[in-house]
């Protein structure tokens, strides 16, 4: 499969096959857990049709991709912004990747159960740094029935998922405090069968129950509810590997907070797959160099969720390990 064939196939994908995605704005908050430690998890991961097609094309044309004939991440980002200057920047980055035929670099992370990170696309023009990476996240499944010690239990004390709920998140209380009745009824109507049977009315508990149903196997979900019924409480631990939102050079220069966009999913909690990273306001010390020797900070974090039957769900989030992965990005203009 040659470059022209791949380009034609990607270009021919109709918009109706593509999952709607919000416009990318690098000035907004990224999907890094460092700034989204709590969230309302109501969406199911829906990988973009384009990602599936690109995966197929890569399977058919691995040699072409390895030679840098296709920059799917930079190409995708051009369609995710309405900013004409940024669109032109991403286009120039794609042309650079294709023109220089950059070979992807893959690093395996033994400390993170052999998760792998691949730098497949890179662009540095002296003022802006753009990266296209692929993260193969390998983490243990959600642990159900974890028994926290007293010290851990004392830390699990923040209402889960919602920034704007402080104190009592009982739906009846929230309704009396101004929640729209349509939202109130929607939460009650869309509870799981178990949540309705045991009349869960705390917003955090309802959301945690939905998350468990989505992330666990049917057998593990039943086991979780069996434990909750028998003991009156439940603790689960969720793990994740992700790219931190700061890039540091080998001389210690911090490039500041970076923007991140997972181009395979519109789920802000998705960390695996193809990820676009932008450092658009480089400090003076990082500008106009021959090359940047960067370190991507890969982190392993865990979230503990704890709930008692009939009450709210609480959480505690902690980074348990991190590693610096070095790469070099040459200045495209030199």
76-115 pLDDT, tens digit per residue, is 999 888 899 999 999 999 999 988 877 899 999 998 999 9
**Most confident segment among 64-73, 112-121, 266-275:** 112-121
Q: Is the pTM of this model over 0.75?
A: no
Domain boundaries, the chain: 3-138+250-289
SS (H, E, C) the chain: CCHHHHHHHHHCCCHHHCCCCCCCCCCCCCCCCCCCCCCCCCCCCCCCHHHHHHHHHHHHCHHHHHCCCCCHHHHHHHCCCCCHHHHHHHHHHHHHHHHHCCCCEEEEEHHHCCEEEEEEEEEECCCCEEEEEEEECCCCCCEECCCCCHHHHHHCCEECCCCCCCCCCEHHHHHHCCCCHHHHHHHHHCCCHHHHHCCCCEHHHHHHHHHHHHHCCHHHHHHHHHHHHHHCEEEEEEEEEEEEEEEEECCCCEEEECEEEECCCCCCCCCCEEEEEEECCCCHHHCCCCEEEEEEEEEEEEEEEEEECCCCEEEEEEEEEEEEEEEEEECCCC
The pLDDT-based confidence of 141 (bands split at 50, 70, 90) is confident
170-209 pLDDT, tens digit per residue, is 999 999 989 999 999 999 999 999 999 999 999 999 999 9
């Amino acid at each position: 499969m040659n470059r022209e064939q791949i380009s034609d196939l990607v270009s021919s994908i109709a918009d109706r096959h593509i999952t709607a995605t919000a416009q990318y704005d690098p000035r907004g908050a990224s999907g890094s857990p460092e700034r989204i430690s709590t969230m309302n998890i109501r969406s199911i991961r829906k990988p973009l049709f384009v990602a599936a097609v690109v995966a197929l094309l890569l399977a058919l044309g691995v040699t072409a991709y390895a030679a840098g004939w296709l920059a799917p991440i930079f190409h995708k980002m051009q369609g995710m912004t309405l900013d004409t200057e940024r669109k032109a920047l991403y286009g120039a980055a794609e042309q650079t990747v294709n023109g220089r035929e950059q070979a992807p670099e893959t690093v395996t992370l033994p400390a993170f159960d052999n998760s792998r990170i691949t730098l497949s696309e890179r662009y540095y023009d002296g003022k802006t740094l753009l990266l296209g990476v692929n993260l193969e996240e390998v983490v243990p499944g959600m642990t159900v029935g974890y028994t926290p010690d007293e010290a851990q239990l004392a830390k699990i004390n923040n209402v889960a998922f919602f920034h704007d709920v402080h104190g009592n998140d009982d739906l009846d209380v929230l309704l009396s405090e101004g929640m729209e009745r349509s939202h109130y009824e929607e939460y009650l109507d869309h509870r799981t069968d178990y949540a309705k049977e045991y009349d869960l009315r705390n917003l955090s508990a309802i959301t945690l129950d939905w998350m468990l149903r989505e992330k666990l196997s049917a057998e593990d979900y039943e086991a979780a509810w069996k434990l909750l019924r028998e003991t009156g409480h439940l603790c689960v631990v969720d793990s994740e590997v992700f790219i931190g939102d700061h890039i540091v050079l080998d001389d210690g220069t911090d490039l500041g907070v970076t923007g991140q966009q997972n181009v395979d999913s519109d789920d802000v909690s998705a960390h695996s797959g193809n990820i676009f990273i932008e450092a658009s306001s480089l400090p003076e010390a990082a500008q106009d160099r021959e090359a940047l020797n960067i370190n991507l900070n890969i982190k392993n974090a865990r979230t503990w969720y704890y709930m008692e039957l009939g009450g709210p769900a609480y959480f505690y989030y902690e980074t348990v390990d991190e590693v610096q992965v070095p790469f070099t990005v040459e200045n495209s203009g030199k």
